[in-house]
Amino acid sequence: MHHFAYRRGVSQANVLHAEEVDLSDLAAAVGTPFYCYSTATLERHYRVFVEAFAGIPDTLVCYSVKANSSLGVLATLGRAGAGMDVVSEGELRRALAVDVPPAKIVFSGVGKTRAEMAFALDRGIFAFNVESEPELRALSEVADARGAVARIAFRVNPDVDAKTHHKIATGKAENKFGVPFAEAPSLYGLAKELPGIEATGVHMHIGSQITDLSPFRNAFALLHELVGTLRAEGATIGFVNLGGGLGIPYRSDQPEPPRPADYARLVAEEVGDLGVRLLFEPGRMIAGNAGILVSRVLYVKHGASKTFTIVDAAMNDLMRPTLYEAYHEILPVTAPEPGTRTIVTDVAGPVCETGDYLALSRPLPELRAGDLISVMTAGAYGAVLASEYNSRLLVPEVLVAGDRYSVMRPRPSYDDMLAKERLPNWL
């Protein structure tokens, strides 16, 4: 569920609104393209996820910052009570900048540098998700040198197929993530010997946009077994981090993915009896449906075999269609007049790449130059993946709350873009 819907605008036409804000007015004020996020949707998704686990005594929901790291989004979720899952010092600094308590922060990623470890230790984060033996040894050295203790969970790779796009599956043996399941017991043994390490958690994250609960069930059952094994060998396991990955609906013509309540029931069934603190790292599920990308049609181009609707947003602004072959619903911001013809068109941007498209062969109400479109479900892995490719300016990000809006990241000027660089002194 989200808070983007058609309502009567000032001009009496049915206009897509973000909560109470008319998106055509917003486009006039901010210019296109821009990302727009809904506070009510962010808060609702966080609440629904937390409430799904109301029956489980000790849980911590750490929003996965990489899905959407806009400070306003983080502050909204932080105020609602969310912890954060970060994958770099930059993300950690963002979470701290909006006053998320370090005790609610976990640090993931296969390539943490020693400098990042030191920074996180000095801030007193809750735990590190450790992904290899060399990383464990480095963390031990860094922690020991500062007289600190790093609480850790090994991220175990259960070798299960998450049944999602291959670029976002992370729990197969051939993926770079986590430590092999079979090696986990000896790594916990090693961790006990190393100074500065307290290995009291187990972590798992098997992929993203998972729309079938069975991979979760298989993975969590294995994890349950592993906790039993580790305990039998004398380890103290006080927390289990189940990662993120719950899928969201991108298309209204396909079956709904499992609801948080279904996922929570499965969690309770598979690991509810472990007597541990349960952590979760949802990203997409919180932010995905809470954001859209608004763009303007520049030209309608009739090719030899296809119609191309050329818009002012491109793959550098929203990479998901070309990177993950992702489908994003596209809605005209002004609802089409009754009787408007539906045409089949590619929706493409100005970037000089064949892979630059937002939709391929999409039936859409016929659009004209100047019309606004909204690319739906763009709140997660949208703006965070944007680049200046083709020297295009980074897209602004706007947060709406009721009838208010704030341009959280303004569009830079071309001077701003050029001012970030230096010419070598010999040129």
Ligand X SMILES: *Cc1c(COP(=O)(O)O)cnc(C)c1O
CA distance 364 to 10: 25
Residue 286 contacts residue 45 (beta carbons within 8 Å): yes
| Binding test (CB under 6 A) with ligand X, winner from 201, 244, 257, 272 | 244
CB of 80 to ligand X, least distance (A): 17
| Binding test (CB under 6 A) with ligand X, winner from 9, 33, 158, 243 | 243
Q: Are strands 357-365 and 197-203 parallel, antiparallel or unpaired?
A: unpaired
Specify the stretch interacting with ligand X by CB under 6 A; choose among 184-192, 212-220, 275-283, 327-335: 275-283
Specify the stretch interacting with ligand X by CB under 6 A; choose among 191-199, 277-285, 351-359, 388-396: 277-285
Residue 106: is it exposed, middle or buried by C-beta count within 10 angstroms (0-12/13-18/19+)? buried
CB of 65 to ligand X, least distance (A): 9
CA distance 84 to 50: 14
Residue 342: helix, strand or coil by DSSP? strand
Instruction: List Cβ neighbours of 425 (8 Å cut-off, separation of 6 or more).
Output: none
CB of 153 to ligand X, least distance (A): 11
Q: Does 66 bind ligand X (CB under 6 A)?
A: yes
Q: Write out the binding residues for ligand X, residues 179-208 only, by CB under 6 A.
A: 205, 208
What are all long-range contacts of 298-303, with beta carbons under 8 Å and residues at least 24 apart? Answer: 298/350, 298/369, 299/369, 300/345, 300/367, 300/368, 300/369
Q: Write out the binding residues for ligand X, residues 78-97 only, by CB under 6 A.
A: 85
With the CA atoms of 206, 243, 394 and 313 taken in that order, what torsion angle do they form, in degrees rounded to the nearest 10? 50
Residue 86: is it exposed, middle or buried by C-beta count within 10 angstroms (0-12/13-18/19+)? buried
CA distance 405 to 18: 9
Q: Write out the binding residues for ligand X, residues 282-341 only, by CB under 6 A.
A: 282-285
Nearer to ligand X, 72 or 257 (CB): 257
Q: Write out the binding residues for ligand X, residues 379-418 only, by CB under 6 A.
A: 380
Nearer to ligand X, 148 or 384 (CB): 384
**Which tokens is 87 given?**
């994958």
352 is catalytic: yes
CB of 186 to ligand X, least distance (A): 23
Nearer to ligand X, 158 or 282 (CB): 282
Nearer to ligand X, 87 or 294 (CB): 87
- Classify each residue of 20-49 as buried b or exposed e, where b means 16 or more C-beta atoms within 10 Å of its C-beta: ebbbbebbeebebbbbbbbbbbbbbbbeeb
Specify the stretch interacting with ligand X by CB under 6 A; choose among 34-42, 63-71, 365-373, 408-416: 63-71
Cis-peptide into 33, omega within 30 deg: yes
Residues, the chain: 427
The DSSP annotation for 347-379 comes to EE-SSSSTT-EEEEEEEEE---TT-EEEE-S-S
Q: Does 245 bind ligand X (CB under 6 A)?
A: yes
CB of 211 to ligand X, least distance (A): 11
Specify the stretch interacting with ligand X by CB under 6 A; choose among 60-68, 179-187, 320-328, 344-352: 60-68
Nearer to ligand X, 132 or 334 (CB): 132
User: Which position among 10, 352, 423, 427 bears the catalytic label?
Assistant: 352
Nearer to ligand X, 61 or 367 (CB): 61
Q: Name the DSSP class of 45.
A: H
Nearer to ligand X, 242 or 347 (CB): 242
The closest of 334, 327, 400, 320 to 3, measured between CA atoms, is 400
Nearer to ligand X, 139 or 372 (CB): 139
The residue whose two tokens read 């105020």 is 79
CB of 288 to ligand X, least distance (A): 8
CB of 90 to ligand X, least distance (A): 15
Specify the stretch interacting with ligand X by CB under 6 A; choose among 14-22, 62-70, 308-316, 361-369: 62-70
Which spans of this chain sit near ligand X (rule: CB under 6 A)? 64, 66-67, 85, 108, 205, 208, 243-245, 281-285, 380
Which residues participate in catalysis according to the annotation?
Answer: 352
